Amino acid sequence: MASIFKRKNANGTTVWRAIVRIKGYPTVCNHYERKQEAEDWASDTERQIKAGQFKFEQHNQIRTFTELTERYIQDGALEHHRSADDTLWNSLVFFGIFSA
């Protein structure tokens, strides 16, 4: 059964969270900017799970720190800092990827 929730982010934007729970299967969720997108994804996901076609591995991957850091950089999360280069460098030194 799918559930759709409206959530407000800290910056005031609205996000719709779709959660699909079917007994005997892991819970799957995703976030969308529009409610209709969340409803469509939820119904498609339910159908795929019941047909045995849904790939749970794609949603339950264990990611490495390097993958998360690369995604953080690519998504532009550093752009809101005063000095993105310093923030990146300090975080890489802190986690031992580079030595100072």
- Alpha carbon distance, N-terminus to C-terminus of the chain: 52
Written as tens digits, the pLDDT of the chain (100 aa) is: 799 999 998 888 899 999 999 998 888 888 999 999 999 999 998 999 888 888 777 666 677 888 877 877 777 666 666 666 666 766 776 666 666 5
The C-alpha angle 35, 18, 14, rounded to 5 degrees, equals 50
Cβ–Cβ under 8 Å, residues 19 and 1: no
What's the pTM?
Answer: 0.57
